[in-house]
Amino acid sequence: MLNEEMINERKNSLLNDLNTIQSKMVELEKKKLETIALSNALTGAVQQCDDFLNKINNDETEDLVSSDVG
């Protein structure tokens, strides 16, 4: 037969589970923010590489143009 003690035990168990899940959500949110920051850093590094490549290509083009003129 169902009684108040059984219901309270079940409620406490559910509250413990809820606290565990909420803690996991906090951890996951931190990991998400760290992953977003890493993604942004990697994107910036790729953009920097693209910028360097463009500068190298521009320098090579200028060298070709100056050697054709000279």
Tens of pLDDT, residue by residue over 3-47, are 999 999 999 999 999 999 999 999 999 999 999 999 999 999 999
Any idea what DSSP says for residue 24?
Answer: H
> Where residue 60 falls among pLDDT bands split at 50, 70, 90?
confident
- 8 by Cβ neighbours in 10 Å (0-12 / 13-18 / 19+) ranks as exposed
Give the pLDDT of residue 69. Answer: 63
Distance CA 70, CA 6 (A): 95
C-alpha distances (whole Å) from 61 to each of 51, 53, 70 are: 15, 12, 14
pLDDT at 61: 77
Residue 66 pLDDT class (50, 70, 90 cuts):
confident
Q: Which residue has the tokens 């790729």?
A: 46
> Which residue is listed with tokens 């909420």?
22
